[in-house]
Amino acid sequence: MTEPAIRARALSRHFGEVIAVDGVDLDVPSGEIYGFLGPNGSGKTTIIRMLCGLLTPTAGEVSVLKLNIPAEAEALRRKIGYMTQKFSLYDELTVAENMMFMARVHGLSRGAARTRIKQLLDRYGLTAMRDRFAGAMSGGQRQRLALAVATLHSPTVLFLDEPTSAVDPENRRDFWEKLFDLSDAGTTILVSTHYMDEAERCHQLAILETGHLRKHGTPRTLMAELDGRVIEISGPNLRQVKEQAMQLPEVQSAAQQGLQLRILLRAAARDPIAGLRAQLGDGALRYAVTKPSLEDVFVASTHGGDGG
Amino acid sequence: MSVLSRLEAIASKEFKQLARDRVTFGMIVMIPLMQLLLFGYAINTEVRNIPIAIVDQSGSAGARNITEQVRVTQVVEIVDYYATPKEAEEALVAGKVSAVLVLPHNLAQRAASGEPVGQWLVDGSDTMVGSALLALRSMPLQMVAGVPQGAYQGATPSFEVALFFNPERRSEVNIVPGLTAIILTMTLVLFTSAALVRERERGNLELLITTPISPLELMVGKLLPYIVVGLVQVTIILGLGQLVFGVAFQGELLSLAAITLPFIAANLALGLLISTRATTQLQAMQLTFFILMPSILLSGFMFPYAAMPLPAQYIAEVLPATHYMRLIRGVFLRGAETGQLLADTLWLVGFTLVMLVIATKRFRKSLD
């Protein structure tokens, strides 16, 4: 494999007493879509800001595109695009004006900027609203504009911080199509999210919790690791069964999903159903080993499951 | 080339935002209008209708003549007549009158020999009243009846220097150019002090600092549109000053531009420095008032610079408004050339550069 596009070792960041990021190692291969999955406050934004050179790490090393960060951050700025969590373009400028402004700030000549803007307006379906004020657009439109602006100068690496948090599912699908187009063209993309369905689309994934990187790998591998640990129970009195299950030491979490109770075991057992059946009783309950989901991976690798 | 391109990008973006922000745009025009009318009409440093009493011991026609002449100045209002200076003094102590004019028995004789014709007894506790009456002391008196033409020349002192450029003692003449300094300080520092803070609050800055833009490009680019704003305001103030108050500009337009541009730049740079320090727009506003108050009080707008104690003069010397106050009064009223006022102009240019350098150094392209 070639040199990773983004590499971090023992990366930490403290804000006074608070440790926002603690000893994170990271390798993002070139050209892949790499996801950060984690709840609010897990350190996703802080890590992205450190990788962009916006925040100085308290400890650890970062190199992006072989550039030492933050020492060589200025050289990196020409090669990266950044989409902030909060919409950060100007509400009182139109779509085209925002794009022209950012293109010129990135040093594109007026002529080159015009060509590029036309191309991007078309690609992101913004041509019809080129003279609309950014402040008057919907969440999905703003997000397409933000992505268009982030890619104006054809960056090699894109950092997207929760790009779809204010977007409906339909627009999210479209958005991911655009990301795969970019990835296909060779752009490395680091995207943070707290949506499981989004995380599952990534080539690789890192699960973050309270500033720690708990687990990483392809979504498929991560899910396969849990084979034999997820059991679905259906039948009457599921709320009661859940209470009982939570008392068992081998159960990491139990969560109801519609008519099923989904049990995550702490370790794979040879015959997981037999063990559970012995303790929760047979009665009218039906047991089945089921395919692990990314949510199971998330629960298994964070402490989230402990309290139920 | 890309430097110019970025400067132009920032400046034109800033200009569009400004033009679309109706409140700010309104302030650019309304602040000078309101201030000029308020200050021009309301702040009147002329003192009128001071209550006085007359003690006429001569009872002559000449005394009545002088009394009448004092009355028509409107500076004083004669509220009482007393027979003896002693009674008058008591009224003065009691606060019934602020001053007493005593005209002695030998009035005609004194007038003939050119001696002062009378004595003012003045309550000096209000300095404004005091100085107004001090000015009356040198009031040119018309011929007193019974005294030959020309005999009274000695008792009529010549002009004071303070009256030289403003013979009618109209305060607007001094206030209109002075207001230019105050209004520019108020609006320009306020606008730019909010400039960076607003981008930080709205999150624009986080995106902007991931681009190759340099802090200096950002600073200068933000400053450029406001130079135009400053020029528009100067035009409004001086135009209105002539229209409403009849205060005519007597100098060279070029000189006016040569002193005004550095002053505008100095205020904008100062605002930018505040902007790098403040974390919210409210803080920026508070810091602006911290600059504004001394600019109004110490710059020579309200009180004469020379009359201030030394420490106040030192503080005043740091404020751009003080330097501009000297410059604009020189150029505006006396028609002085910029060359004569080079020191203050250069000081403003230097101030601008220093503020810009500090603001640029303080501005980090990071969120640390």
Please give the pLDDT value at position B162.
26
Q: What is the pLDDT of residue A308?
A: 35
Specify whether A202 is located in the same domain as A257. no
Asked whether residue B335 carries a pLDDT value surpassing 80, the answer given is: no
Same domain, A103 and A23: yes
On whether residue A93 sits in a domain, the answer given is yes
**Which region holds residue A16: left if phi is over 0, alpha if psi is between -120 and 50, else beta?**
left
A101 touching chain B per CB within 8 A: yes
Q: End of a domain among A171, A189, A218? A: A218
pLDDT score at B366: 83
Are both A109 and A18 inside the same structural domain? yes
In chain B, residues with a C-beta closer than 8 Å to the C-beta of A86 are: 203, 206
- With pLDDT > 70 as the criterion, what percentage of chain A qualifies? 97
- Number of domains present in the structure of chain A: 2
DSSP for B161-177, please give it: GGGTT-TT--HHHHHHH
| Residue B9, both tokens | 């990008």
Contact A291, A230 (CB under 8 A): yes
Choosing among B2, B8, B13, which should be mutated to test the A contact, i.e. which has the most A CBs within 10 A? B13
Q: In this structure, are A214 and A232 located in the same domain?
A: no
Quick one: tokens of B333? Answer: 């009223």
Rounded CA-CA distance B196/B204 in Å is 9
pLDDT tier, B159 (very low <50, low <70, confident <90, very high otherwise): very low
Which chain B residues touch A77 with a CB distance below 8 Å? 210-212
Range of the domain at A234: 228-290
CA angle centred on A134, ends A132 and A140, rounded to 5°: 100
CATH assignment of the domain containing A28:
3.40.50.300
Closest partner residue to A88 among B16, B207, B366, by Cβ? B207
Tokens read off for A304: 């989230």
A204 with A285, same domain: the answer is no
A69 in a structural domain:
yes
> Identity (one letter) of the amino acid at A239?
R
Average pLDDT over residues B28-57: 78
Residue A35 domain-assigned (yes or no): yes
B224, B265 in Cβ contact below 8 A?
A: no
Question: Does B169 have pLDDT greater than 50?
Answer: no
Domain end point (choices A189, A218, A247): A218
pLDDT in tens, B277-298: 888 888 998 999 888 888 888 8
Tell me if A93 and B9 make a contact (CB, 8 A cut-off).
no
Give the contacts of B234 (CB within 8 A, at least 6 positions apart).
Answer: B180, B184, B256, B260
d(CA B304, CA B178): 12
Contact A93 B17 (CB under 8 A): yes
Would residue A173 count as lying in a domain?
Answer: yes
Is pLDDT at A12 greater than 60 in this prediction?
A: yes
- CB environment A62-99: b (16+ within 10 A), e (fewer): bbbbebebbeebeebbeebbbbbbebbbbbbbbbbbbb
Residue B153: pLDDT band (50, 70, 90) is very low
Distances (CA, A) of A281 to A185, A255, A265, B325: 55, 18, 17, 93
Domain boundary among A165, A199, A218: A218
Q: Specify if A297 maps to a domain.
A: no
Domain match, A133 and A11 both: yes
Average pLDDT taken over every residue of chain A:
91
Are A110 and B366 a contacting pair at CB < 8 A? Answer: no
Residues A85 and A155 in one domain: yes
Is the domain of A191 the same as that of A234? no
Out of A110-124, B6-20, B38-52, B333-347, the most confident range is A110-124
Could you tell me the two tokens for B312?
Answer: 């106040």
pLDDT in the model for residue B166: 44
Do A53 and A166 lie in one domain? The reply is yes
| A304 domain residue, yes or no | no
> For the segment A240-293, what is each residue's pLDDT rounded down to a tens digit?
889 988 898 888 999 998 889 999 998 887 788 888 888 888 778 899 999 999
Where do we find the tokens 């949510």?
A295
pLDDT of residue B42 exceeding 70, the answer is no
What is the model's pLDDT at position B114? 65
Q: Is A104 on the interface with B (CB under 8 A)?
A: yes
Whether pLDDT at B305 is above 80:
no
pLDDT, mean of residues B179-201 = 89
Q: Return the CATH number at A237.
A: 3.30.70.100
Q: Are residues A260 and A191 in the same domain?
A: no
Alpha helix locations (H) across A106-232?
110-123, 139-150, 169-184, 196-201, 219-224
Give pLDDT tens digits for A60-83.
999 999 999 889 999 999 999 999
With a cut of 90, say whether residue B238 has pLDDT above it: no
At A306, is the pLDDT very low, low, confident or very high (cuts 50, 70, 90)? very low
Residue B201's closest chain A neighbor by CA? A88
pLDDT band for A204, please (50, 70, 90 cuts): very high
Asked if pLDDT for residue B352 goes beyond 80, the answer is: yes
DSSP state of A227: T
Q: What are chain B's domains?
A: 2-43+170-362 (no CATH), 50-163 (3.40.190)
Q: Do A77 and B212 touch (CB under 8 A)?
A: yes
Q: Is A96 part of a structural domain of the chain?
A: yes
Q: Would you say residue A296 lies in a domain?
A: no
Segments of chain A assigned E as strands = 6-15, 18-28, 33-37, 59-64, 67-69, 80-83, 157-161, 188-193, 204-209, 212-217, 230-234, 251-257, 260-265, 286-289
The ipTM of this complex is 0.83
